[in-house]
Each structure stands twice: as structure tokens, then as C-alpha cells.
């Protein structure tokens, strides 16, 4: 089970390529050098995790009673699984962030990777600093 810890800021090139921190990559299974990502439902960030955790999310959401959900837009599976994508690393440990995810998070030339244990987030430096400042005042 991967364990993502610490915070790293990495450069994003014009093609949207960014290196996943080596400490994050080293916790992933050797036979699966990829991450799953989706736009955060609660912040201007990208949520990330390994594929096994995506399977865990899917299993938990399969227990959700769709008959009590009034619309597709309120269905957690639609909000998470339909927006999740799996991105493989290249030989240098980089992924290409899709433009829609970069726009959601406000990422341009730098990305902040924040380890949260089983998951991690990717932020723009400005949005991350603002979120940290907000959390320190509450």
C-alpha cells in the first residue's frame, strides 16, 4: 500500500509534463508505474492515488444506493469515477497533466504535490499557499 508523505514543488513544462516526486513513485508497486487523478470536489486541486485505491473507491461507491440519489450530478460515482483518469509515467518519472485538470487547479509552470497518506493532491503554488493560510486561521 503506497504511502504519500511530505510536500514537493516541481516544474511543469509547456506540454504539461511534471515529475511525480521520486518519494511518491518509490512507494508505488513496481509493476504499476501510474497514478489515477481527478479534479477535487472541494478545492482547486487535483486528487491523486494509485490504481488500487481507485478500485477501493469504486467498491465503496458500489454500495451507494442510486435509487435515493435524485440526479446524476449528485451521484458520487459520477462525480469521481467518471472524471478519474489513469496516467502512466514516462521513463523519467513524468506524467502529462491534462489541460482541463491544470485549469481546474490553476496550474501553469509549477505544481505542488502534497502527500496525504493513501492519497495526494496537486496544487498550484498560489492556491496551495492560500489554502494553508485559510487553514491556519480557522
Structural domain contains residue 24: yes
The pTM of this model reads 0.86
Structural domain contains residue 61: no
Structural domain contains residue 32: yes
Structural domain contains residue 64: no
Number of domains in the chain: 1
Cα–Cα distance for residue pair 29/7, rounded to 1 Å? 21
Cβ neighbors of 2 (< 8 A, separation 6 or more) are 24, 27, 28, 29, 49, 50, 53, 118
Rounded average pLDDT over 112-134: 96
Domain of residue 43, residue span = 7-54+83-137
Residue 57 has a pLDDT of 74
Residue 32 has a pLDDT of 82
Structural domain contains residue 25: yes
Residue 72 has a pLDDT of 46
Segment 63-108, tens digit of pLDDT: 655 555 555 445 566 677 778 899 999 999 999 999 999 999 999 9
Average pLDDT of the chain?
Answer: 88
- Here the CATH number for the domain that contains residue 27 is 3.40.1550.20
Closest CA to 109 of 4, 5, 15: 15
Amino acid at each position: 500500500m503506497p504511502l504519500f508523505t511530505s510536500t514537493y514543488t516541481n516544474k511543469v513544462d509547456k506540454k504539461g509534463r511534471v515529475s511525480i516526486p521520486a518519494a511518491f513513485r518509490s512507494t508505488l508497486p513496481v509493476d504499476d508505474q501510474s497514478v489515477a487523478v481527478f479534479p477535487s470536489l472541494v478545492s482547486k486541486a487535483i486528487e491523486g492515488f494509485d490504481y488500487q485505491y481507485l478500485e477501493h473507491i469504486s467498491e465503496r461507491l458500489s454500495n451507494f444506493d442510486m435509487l435515493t440519489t435524485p440526479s446524476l450530478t449528485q451521484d458520487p460515482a459520477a462525480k469521481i469515477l467518471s472524471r478519474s483518469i489513469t496516467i502512466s509515467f514516462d521513463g523519467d518519472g513524468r506524467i502529462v497533466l491534462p489541460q482541463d485538470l491544470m485549469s481546474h487547479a490553476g496550474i501553469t509552470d509549477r505544481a505542488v504535490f502534497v502527500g496525504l497518506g493513501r492519497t495526494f493532491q496537486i496544487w498550484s503554488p498560489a492556491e496551495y499557499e492560500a489554502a494553508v493560510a485559510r487553514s491556519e486561521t480557522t
